[in-house]
């Protein structure tokens, strides 16, 4: 059993924290809106009044927040995670943020005598609950190996990709493909539908074809019915694509399909779909094609 902390108990963060509790670890948690974490408190998570309190109570502190600005808000300042860190502690950020900002934060953690790992995940609520989540990790080898048993309680595949910031870069490289795949899948479904094939039939055929990646298999059915709670909404996906486009500019890597998909995400937002799962790219494209839901 380890004394763990978790800051940011959203859709994914809360379920990761629950897996850590179920693995026998002690978890102290913090979320900006406490009421959203009440079910976790009922399940055994101890409540920390601020990110600093969580980090003080834990040997290993996790965070998983929406963007770079949110990470800075929970990590810095008198009540931030940094203020609660000390020698020998590990801070693991699972957010998808700017690689440069992640490296800068890692330097601040090192100055406190602690180690930071960036450890975003690849997968969704479904893969997490199935125990199939994979984790990419950036940071020093020794810290990665210390944290590995805890990370494996979250997902079985833990890959050390290199120094601080590189796991976030890898995550950005991964997520751009999710959105591009979803848009291509939507194009195929709509082309079949407007040709006279029932949408459900087109989805069934595509989900059993060679184009059915794991992501398409679990998200493709969302073109028939959106989930009650977005797994990863349009706003969050566009944040990641904008990070990808910026990283592409910095590294001189052209990202033409990412750029086109980003414009479709803007279209979806303009249509009022910002809070829907990013599978709502289908809805935006369908409206443009004159196809009713």
**CATH number reported for the structural domain that contains residue 41 in this entry:** 3.40.50.720
> Is 266:256 a contact under the CB 8 Å cutoff?
no
Domain boundary among the residues 113, 139, 163 is at 163
Domain boundary among the residues 138, 163, 188 is at 163
102: which 2 tokens?
A: 């992640």
Query: Are 225 and 254 found together in one domain?
Result: yes
Structure confidence at residue 231 (pLDDT)? 87
Is 79 a residue whose pLDDT tops 90? yes
Query: Are 29 and 91 found together in one domain?
Result: yes
At 122, the pLDDT band (50, 70, 90 cuts) reads confident
Structure confidence at residue 91 (pLDDT)? 98
Separation of alpha carbons 181 and 15, rounded Å = 26
The pLDDT of 170-181, averaged and rounded, is: 96
Query: Are 150 and 256 found together in one domain?
Result: no
Query: Are 102 and 197 found together in one domain?
Result: no
> Is 96:85 a contact under the CB 8 Å cutoff?
no
Is 126 a residue whose pLDDT tops 80? no
Is 145 a residue whose pLDDT tops 80? yes
Is 125 a residue whose pLDDT tops 80? no
Domain boundary among the residues 163, 179, 196 is at 163
Separation of alpha carbons 164 and 106, rounded Å = 7
At 131, the pLDDT band (50, 70, 90 cuts) reads confident
Task: Write out the catalytic residue numbers.
Answer: 171
> Is 74:54 a contact under the CB 8 Å cutoff?
no
Structure confidence at residue 124 (pLDDT)? 75
The answer to the question of residue 49 being in a domain is: yes
Query: Are 127 and 196 found together in one domain?
Result: no
At 165, the pLDDT band (50, 70, 90 cuts) reads very high
Kindly list the distances between the CA atom of residue 35 and the CA atoms of 30, 40, 292, in Å, as whole numbers in the listed order.
11, 10, 37
Structure confidence at residue 1 (pLDDT)? 82
**Which helix or strand (DSSP H or E) is residue 165 part of?**
none
Query: Are 153 and 264 found together in one domain?
Result: no
pLDDT tens profile 184-237: 999 999 999 999 999 999 999 999 999 999 899 989 999 999 988 888 999 999
The answer to the question of residue 271 being in a domain is: yes
Query: Are 116 and 72 found together in one domain?
Result: yes
The pLDDT of 130-157, averaged and rounded, is: 94
pLDDT tens profile 11-21: 889 999 999 99
The answer to the question of residue 293 being in a domain is: no
Query: Are 27 and 67 found together in one domain?
Result: yes
Pick from 107, 110, 104, 102: nearest CA to 63: 102
Structure confidence at residue 74 (pLDDT)? 97
Mean pLDDT value across the chain: 95
CATH number at residue 193: 1.10.1040.10
The whole domain housing 60 covers: 3-163
Domains of the chain: total:
2
Query: Are 175 and 273 found together in one domain?
Result: yes
pTM of this structure: 0.89
The pLDDT of 21-39, averaged and rounded, is: 93
Separation of alpha carbons 155 and 123, rounded Å = 10
The pLDDT of 101-118, averaged and rounded, is: 97
Q: Which residue has the higher pLDDT, 231 or 165?
A: 165
The pLDDT of 136-153, averaged and rounded, is: 97
């Amino acid at each position: 059993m380890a004394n763990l902390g978790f800051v940011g108990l959203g859709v994914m963060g809360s379920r990761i924290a629950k897996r850590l509790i179920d693995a026998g670890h002690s978890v102290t948690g913090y979320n900006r809106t406490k009421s959203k974490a009440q079910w976790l408190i009922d399940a055994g998570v101890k409540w920390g009044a601020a990110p600093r309190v969580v980090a003080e109570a834990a040997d290993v502190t996790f965070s998983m927040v929406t963007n770079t600005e949110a990470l800075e808000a929970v990590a810095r300042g008198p009540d931030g995670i940094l203020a609660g860190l000390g020698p020998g502690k590990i801070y693991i950020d699972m957010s998808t943020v700017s690689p440069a900002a992640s490296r800068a934060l890692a330097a601040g953690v090192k100055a406190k005598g602690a180690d930071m790992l960036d450890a975003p995940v690849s997968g969704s609520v479904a893969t997490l609950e199935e125990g199939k989540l994979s984790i990419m990790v950036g940071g020093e080898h020794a810290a990665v190996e210390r944290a590995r048993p805890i990370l494996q309680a979250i997902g079985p595949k833990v890959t050390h990709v290199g120094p601080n910031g590189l796991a976030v870069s890898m995550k950005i490289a991964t997520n751009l493909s999710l959105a591009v795949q979803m848009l291509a899948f939507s194009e195929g479904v709509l082309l079949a539908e407007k040709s006279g094939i029932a949408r459900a039939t087109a989805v069934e055929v595509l989900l059993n074809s060679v184009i059915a990646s794991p992501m398409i298999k679990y998200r493709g059915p969302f073109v028939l019915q959106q989930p009650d709670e977005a797994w990863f909404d349009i706003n969050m996906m566009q944040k990641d694509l904008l990070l990808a486009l910026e990283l592409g500019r910095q590294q001189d890597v052209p990202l033409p399909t990412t750029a086109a998909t980003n414009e479709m995400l803007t279209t979806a937002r303009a249509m009022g779909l910002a809070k829907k799962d990013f599978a709502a790219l289908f809805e935006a494209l369908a409206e443009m094609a004159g196809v009713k839901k």
